């Protein structure tokens, strides 16, 4: 019985490690895909860090959790960052070009226009702030 449990624990651990590796590879691919796309957005002001936020009108977590978190970040950081909101339902081509798989998705872009972080799903204000502080160093 004990060897069977040990085997299952090892298998579960291996699956977790494999899943994390796949997640990292997919994120790197999507960040690479987003490279250079920031300059195609009319709302982008070069020279400042940006959060590109993909949402839809029907996304409840976007309205109730993600947007308030972004508003807190924007008010705390002021002119140091810009938040660019894109309706993925109204602009599916843009969402596809950026590699958006689900909403909400936030992509953090540094002051040089390079995408540095991608967050799939709801991201807390604290996590966004930590990622921004890394970009602004």
Taking only the tens place, the pLDDT of each residue in 97-124 is 998 989 999 999 999 999 999 999 999 9
* Strands (DSSP E) found in the chain: 49-55, 81-87, 105-109, 115-120
Give the containing element (helix H, strand E) for 11. Answer: helix 2-34
In percent, how much of the chain has pLDDT > 90? 72
CA distance 107 to 83: 10
Which one-letter DSSP state was computed for residue 109? E
* Mean pLDDT, the chain, whole residue set: 92
**Model confidence band, residue 1 (pLDDT cutoffs 50, 70, 90):** low
Q: Are 8 and 16 in contact (CB under 8 A)?
A: no
Least confident of 18-22, 57-61, 70-74: 18-22
Q: What is the dihedral of CA 116, 55, 24, 99, to 10 degrees?
A: -90
What pLDDT, on the 0 to 100 scale, is given for residue 35? 84
Q: pTM value?
A: 0.83
Alpha-carbon distance of 1 to 114, in angstroms, equals 52
Task: Kindly state the tokens that stand for 134.
Answer: 């890394």
* Percent of the chain residues topping a pLDDT of 70: 99
Find which of 30-39, 71-80, 83-92 is predicted with most confidence, using mean pLDDT: 83-92
Structural domains of the chain sorted by starting position, each given as residue range(s) with its CATH number in brackets: 2-136 (3.40.30.10)
């Amino acid at each position: 019985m004990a060897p069977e449990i040990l085997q299952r624990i090892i298998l579960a651990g291996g699956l977790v490690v494999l899943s994390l590796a796949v997640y990292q590879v997919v994120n790197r691919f999507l960040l690479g895909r987003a490279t250079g796309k920031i300059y195609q957005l009319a709302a982008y002001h070069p020279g400042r860090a940006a959060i590109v936020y993909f949402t839809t009108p029907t996304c409840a977590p976007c309205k109730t959790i993600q947007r308030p978190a972004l508003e807190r970040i924007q008010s705390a950081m002021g002119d140091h960052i810009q938040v660019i909101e894109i309706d993925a339902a109204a602009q599916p081509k843009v969402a596809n070009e950026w590699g958006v798989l689900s909403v909400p998705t936030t992509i953090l872009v540094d002051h040089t226009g390079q995408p540095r972080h991608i967050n799939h799903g709801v991201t807390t204000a604290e996590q966004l702030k930590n990622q921004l502080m890394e970009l602004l160093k």
